[in-house]
Amino acid sequence: MTAQVPVIRLEEISKAFGEVQANSNITLDIHQGRVLALVGENGAGKSTLMSILAGQLQPDSGTIRLKGAPVAFSNTDKAIASGIGMVYQHFKLVDAMTVAENVFLGKSDGLWLRHGAMNREVAELARSYGMSVRPEAVVGELSMGERQQVEILKLLHRRSSILIFDEPTAVLTPRESEELFATIRRMIEQGKAIVFISHKLEEVRALADDIAILKRGQIIDQLEAAQVTSSADLARRMVGRAVLLEVERPPVEPRQVVLKVSNLRAQGLEQADFELRQGEVLGIVGVAGNGQKPLVETICGLSPPREGHIRILGQEWKRFFSRQAWEQTLSYIPEDRQGLATCQGLSLLDNFLLTTRGGFVRGPWLQRRQAGIKADGLIRDFDIRPPDPEALAWQLSGGNLQKMVLAREFYRKPRLIVAEQPTQGLDIAAAEDVWNLLMKAREQAGILLVTGDLSEALALSDRIGVMYDGTLVSTFSRDDQEQVERIPQMMAGLKDS
């Protein structure tokens, strides 16, 4: 590691939530003009540690030193005043306001500035870091990549010199990710310090100068990125075993149709036609915002179709949702694991019962003890941390929460699975586990996989569907190499040349 004096030093930082030790005596240096990648399995304590640095959480013990002097960040305002800012996974923006208004929001002198002056100042700041977002654009109309640029501009406008990025590419397209990396490199050239939390090991190797690996709340390794020979080497250091992120796809004979979508139109969806059979995976890919979410929400009963027909497990859409069984039916694994898939203030046991309650009811009685035994077994089988059915959902990392959702839904033995971004935010070992679980579930179910990760779609799918501008423009076999090579052009709406 570099010998220069760190701009930030975390000394013996510890933090516990009840009996869960999130951080244990962590010492970590952050250097000016360098990118520190923070990696580790889900629940390793990465986000907790950085939330302490950003003033969102308070440590139980330990010291933070800023340029050698001890400091205490009792809230985020004090951290920001010291030059520390964090870009969170879930953006904190006001959709109805413009980019410039969001950037100036909360600044005491902002009320006296005219919109023209605000726009000019934000435009110049964006230009200096190679960002393309327009100051006068309304945030609610922006792509995820553009929204992230607004979050970064907010911190740069507050003159943050130490920026923390928590899983910044989880919601970005490959092109938006490259634009983000270019912005980060400009920040480094200007002497800023960057902390980069990511499960995408190729990104870590491409961007980082230094790497710190966390495991179960402790730093187990610190090294310069140049010392890592490959992504497999980094995964081995992180997980403690070889992780190839490969999956066996034993041949499964497609059987009866479990989902038939005919001439479907809905709010934000212009056209979709396809069939899905038991024993196959149909992967839907496309740039975020091109109709995937309304397609999923309509199929899963969250919004009605405007035109067309949906047949689920042999029943028309309206009849299917009028009296749905709890098992051997449709399981939905939503992208929004914190808001839609779970209730943050409930225990893991109560979250387990949200969709499985029918299996533990005898007359008017809920057999909570039996449900607890089953939930406890699933928590251990899926390696969910903390392994406590009474832990609250908000205490889990995003990756562990996703594993809880998967455990619950697979327990229902579904015949149709709609999986929306199932590995987003998962570490490489957990993603490998999810891939294998989906392949096993494929033996009894048809799987509609909606993913922004093209490599994931190609690894898991039997057929691929591409969405653009609200339309399912094409579906084809994953073995059709000519069509596979055209996927990027289809995602961009480009026709044959």
Tell me, what's the pLDDT at 454? 87
308-331 pLDDT tens trace:
999 999 999 999 999 889 999 999
Edge-first strand order for the sheet with 416-420 is: 315-316, 307-312, 257-266, 269-277, 471-477, 463-468, 281-285, 446-450, 416-420, 330-333
pLDDT of residue 314: 95
Question: pLDDT by residue (tens digit) across 182-197?
Answer: 999 999 999 999 999 9
- C-alpha 405/C-alpha 343 separation (Å) is 11
Q: Single out the residue of 211, 240, 213 nearest to residue 227, CA to CA.
A: 211
CB 130 within 8 A of CB 122: no
pLDDT tens profile 392-417: 999 887 778 888 999 999 999 999 99
Over residues 355-374, the mean pLDDT reads 96
Q: Would you say how long the chain is, in residues?
A: 497
- 386 upstream amide cis, omega within 30 of 0: yes
Which domains are assigned to the chain?
8-239 (3.40.50.300), 245-329+412-497 (3.40.50.300), 347-411 (no CATH)
- Phi, psi dihedrals of residue 418, rounded to the nearest 5°: -105, 110
Stretch among 50-54, 109-113, 423-427 having the lowest mean pLDDT: 109-113
- Write down the pTM of the prediction: 0.75
Given a cut of 60, whether residue 201 has pLDDT beyond it is: yes
